[in-house]
Amino acid sequence: MHFFTRFVSLLAFLTTTAVADPVAYKIDPDHTHPAFETDHLNGLSVWRGNFRTTSGNITLDAAAHTGTVEVVIDTSSVDLAMSKLEAHVQSGEILDVAHFPTATYRGRLTGFKGNVPGSVEGEFTLHGVTHPLKLTIRSFKCQPTPMTRQYVCGADATGEFDRSAYGIDYGGYLGFKMNTRLMIQVEAVKVE
């Protein structure tokens, strides 16, 4: 009987230690700048820009192959390296930042290979409209940083959407293509 009791105790210990709780991370706004690519004049060129201000949270349970992502983008922080164009993109004709000050991506980590997620199944809210949007994770890594010794996870994920589906169809009458690529490059610090 004594052996059986010890065996059950050991089994209970191994079971509880094998199941890890999800680890919480807070997005580092200095190292997270979602970017986008969109057509200009029906293939004449590709406009690229990013957003300077973001916030959000990530959870990760690598052993259980689960996790969540939330990235909140300040749409008024759009950066296109041309102030006149930025003002136009912020206007009611495109992002309408006065009425829609944020864009949000929320999803769950999926497609794990080992302990590394390969995709995010989620929803993107832009211009007050929400649609499903899958992101492919091109790189993912967690490690302590050599400068601060904080534990950080970083990723680079990308997906594509039709901006007219979000009510942003400016330029369509000129032949602008509506397909837009979203690239979310993120670093997040473990919450202690």
31 and 153 in contact (C-beta within 8 Å)?
no
User: Please, which pLDDT band fits residue 13 given cuts at 50, 70 and 90?
Assistant: very low
DSSP characters over 168-190 = --TTGGGT---EEEEEEEEEEEE
Taking the C-alpha atoms of residue 140 and residue 131, their distance in angstroms, rounded to an integer, is 25
User: Please, which pLDDT band fits residue 3 given cuts at 50, 70 and 90?
Assistant: very low
Token pair for residue 145?
A: 């940083």
DSSP characters over 27-70 = E-GGG---EEEEEETTTTEEEEEEES-EEEEEEEETTTTEEEEE
Cα-based angle 23, 181, 132 (whole degrees, multiple of 5): 60
Between the alpha carbon of residue 132 and those of residues 18, 60, 175, the distances in Å are: 33, 21, 26
131 and 114 in contact (C-beta within 8 Å)?
no
Provide the 3-class DSSP secondary structure of residue 15: helix
Give me the mean pLDDT over the 138-157 stretch: 95
Nearest residue to 153 (alpha-carbon basis) of 16, 17, 22, 50: 22
Residue type, 106: R
Domains of the chain and CATH, by start: 20-190 (2.40.128.110)
Could you report the per-residue pLDDT of 66-107, keeping only the tens digit for each? Answer: 999 999 999 999 999 999 999 999 999 999 999 999 999 999
Give me the mean pLDDT over the 172-187 stretch: 96
* Beta pairing, strands 151-162 & 129-144: antiparallel
